[in-house]
Amino acid sequence: MNKIIALAKNRGFIFPGSDIYGGLANSYDFGPLGSELKKNIKDLWWKTFVRDRKDIVGIDANIIMNPKIWEASGHIDSFTDPLVEDKKTHVRYRADHLLEDAEINASGMTLEEMGKIIGKKGIKSPDGNELTTPKQFNLMFKTFMGPVEDKDSIVHLRPETAQAMFVDFAEVLRTSRKSIPFGIAQIGKAFRNEITTGNFIFRLREFEQMEIEYFIAPPKSKKDWEKHFNNWLEEIRKWLDLVGIDRKLIKEVDVPESERAHYSERTVDIEFEYPFGQKELYGLAYRTNYDLSQHEKSSGKSLKYKDLESGEEYIPHVIEPSMGVERTILAILVSSYKEEKVKGETRVVLALPKTIAPFKVAVLPLSKKEELQKLSEDIRADLSKSFVTDYDETQSIGKRYRRQDEIGTPFCVTVDFDSLEDKMVTVRDRDSMKQERVAIDELESYLKEKLS
C-alpha cells in the first residue's frame, strides 16, 4: 500500500489535499495524471452504461436539494453510524469498527448492546483511553442556504446521488419517453461526514459515485426481479474486467437481512482484497418500490408509470448498481501495480488497460539535438489530434522508459538519428518491452489498431 501511495504522489496521480497548510484529514486532490485517469474511467462508465445502451439515460442533478427529500428518504432519521468518543483526547470513532477490531461482530447490535460489550470487554480507544457510551451520529453535512442561519434555512450536501434520480423520475419519463424496464444514470459528488476515515482514498468525506436506478415492473414472483438483479450482477463483472480490476481479488458477498438497509430485499456487496483487508468496492441492491413510494407520499405528486399497452398504472421497483469512483481507482492501482526484475534492476509497471491509461503514447527524442526535437515535436503534434500524448526529453532513454512504465503509458515512440533519414521511429510496447520500427506516416494508424 505504501508503494502505491508513494507512486500516486510522486508521479502526479493523487496528492494530499491542502498540503502546504498541513493538510485536511483524509482529503486528497487528483493531479495531472490522476485527473486524466479519473476522467477516462468516468467516460468509459458513461459510454458502457448510457451511450451504448438504449434503455438508460443520464442526468446531472444538484448537490443541494430540498430538505424534504432527505426527510422522505429516511436520511434525517436513519442515515447514522454508532459513535463513541475518547474521554481524554475527544477523538471520535465508530463503535462497530472498534468492536470489529476486537474480532466482535457488531452486525444488528443496538447501541445499548454495543455499549455493554465495550464495557464488559474493556475495549479502549486506539490511544488506550476509556470511551463514552455509543450514540447515533448523522453522517450528512449540514449547512445554511440564504443570509439567515436558522432552522428554516438548514440544507444538506447530498450523501448519495440516488435520490435525485427518484425525484426526477416523472420528468425523465415524460421527456425521454422510455418504457419499463429502463434506467437513469448519474455520476456526481456525494458527501458524508464519516466518523472514521482512512486507508488512502478508500473512505473519504467527499467522493464521487457512478450509480444507476433501473426501474422494473412490480414482480409477480421472485424470479421476475431476480432476472434483472442477476443481469446487473453480470454487468458489474464485465465492468471489472473492462477496467482491469483483478477478479482473483474479488468476492461477491450476499448481505444478510440483519445488515441490509430496511428497504432492500437483496443486497450483494462486491468486495475487493485491498492491501489492508477485504472491503466493499461496489454494491448491488434490489430496493423494491420503497423510494418512489416514499417520495410520492411525501410530495403528493404522482410517480406512477402507466403501461401504454395494458393501461395498468403502478409504482416501479428498482435495481440499483452503485459504484464509487475513488474506490474503483484504488482497486485499479492495486490490480495494475507490478514489480519485475529486468537485467538485475526492478522495473515498476502500472499495467493499466489501454482505454483508461492517462497517456496513450509518449514521444521521446533520443537526444536534445535541434533537428531531433523538431521532428519529435511534429510527431507529437500530429499524434495529439488522436491520442493523449506525452513528450519527454530529459534524462537517458532508459530512465524515460521506466518513467512511462510507472505511469502506465502503453506505447513509447523513440525518435533517433536514423529517423531523420529513413522516416521511421521505434515503437516500444509497455507490457512486452518489444520494439518495432514503424514508418512515421503509418504511425497513427499503427497506434489506433494497437489501442483499439
Q: What share of the chain has pLDDT > 90, as a percent?
A: 90
Contacts of 323 (CB under 8 A, 6+ apart): 45, 209, 210, 211, 236, 239, 281, 282
Find out whether the peptide bond into 159 is cis, omega within 30 degrees of 0. no
In this prediction, residue 16 carries a pLDDT of 94
pLDDT band at 418; cut points 50, 70, 90: very high
Q: Which amino acid is at 312?
A: E
Cα(430)–Cα(361) distance, rounded to whole angstroms? 10
In this prediction, residue 80 carries a pLDDT of 87
Give residue-wise pLDDT tens across range 121-169. Answer: 999 999 999 999 999 999 999 999 999 999 889 999 999 999 999 999 9
Q: Which domains does the chain have, with CATH numbers?
A: 2-64+161-333 (3.30.930.10), 80-138 (3.30.40.230), 359-451 (3.40.50.800)
Find out whether 448 and 386 touch, Cβ atoms under 8 Å. yes
Cα(231)–Cα(363) distance, rounded to whole angstroms? 43
pLDDT band at 209; cut points 50, 70, 90: very high
Q: How far is CA 261 from CA 69, 73, 78, 266, 350, in A?
A: 18, 12, 10, 9, 37
Helix (H) or strand (E) holding 288, with range, is strand 277-288
How crowded is the C-beta side of 68, counted as CA atoms within 13 Å?
Answer: 8
Which of 387, 360, 384, 373 is closest to 419 using CA atoms?
Answer: 373
Residues in the chain: 452
SS3 string of 364-395?
A: EECCCCHHHHHHHHHHHHHHCCCCCEEECCCC
Average pLDDT taken over every residue of the chain: 95
Cα(312)–Cα(315) distance, rounded to whole angstroms? 10
Tell me the chain's radius of gyration from C-alpha atoms: 26
Give residue-wise pLDDT tens across range 26-49. Answer: 899 999 999 999 999 999 999 999
pLDDT band at 25; cut points 50, 70, 90: confident
Find out whether 196 and 17 touch, Cβ atoms under 8 Å. no
DSSP state of 417: H
| Cα distance from N-terminal residue to C-terminal residue, the chain | 31
In this prediction, residue 50 carries a pLDDT of 98
- Cβ atoms within 10 Å, residue 125: 19
Q: How far is CA 233 from CA 141, 203, 239, 267, in A?
A: 32, 23, 10, 11
Sign, Cα dihedral of 366, 372, 377, 380:
negative
Sign, Cα dihedral of 56, 61, 66, 72:
positive
In this prediction, residue 274 carries a pLDDT of 97
In this prediction, residue 107 carries a pLDDT of 81
pLDDT band at 305; cut points 50, 70, 90: very high
Name the pairing type of β-strands 56-58 and 182-191.
parallel
In this prediction, residue 421 carries a pLDDT of 96
In this prediction, residue 385 carries a pLDDT of 97
Q: Which conformational region is residue 122 in: left (phi greater than 0), alpha (psi within -120 to 50 degrees), or beta?
A: left
pTM of the model: 0.93
Name the pairing type of β-strands 56-58 and 28-30.
unpaired
Name the pairing type of β-strands 345-350 and 389-391.
unpaired
DSSP state of 315: P
Find out whether 184 and 172 touch, Cβ atoms under 8 Å. yes
Give residue-wise pLDDT tens across range 432-442. Answer: 999 999 999 99
Contacts of 252 (CB under 8 A, 6+ apart): 233, 268, 269, 270, 271
Grid cell for residue 20: 502546504
DSSP state of 247: G
pLDDT at 248 over 80: yes
DSSP state of 396: -
Say if residue 407 is exposed, middle or buried (CB neighbours under 10 Å; 0-12, 13-18, 19+).
buried
Which of 167, 186, 228 is closest to 46 using CA atoms?
Answer: 186
Find out whether 131 and 85 touch, Cβ atoms under 8 Å. yes
pLDDT at 197 over 80: no
Longest dimension (CA), the chain: 82
Which of 312, 410, 277 is closest to 356 using CA atoms?
Answer: 410
Cα(358)–Cα(352) distance, rounded to whole angstroms? 9
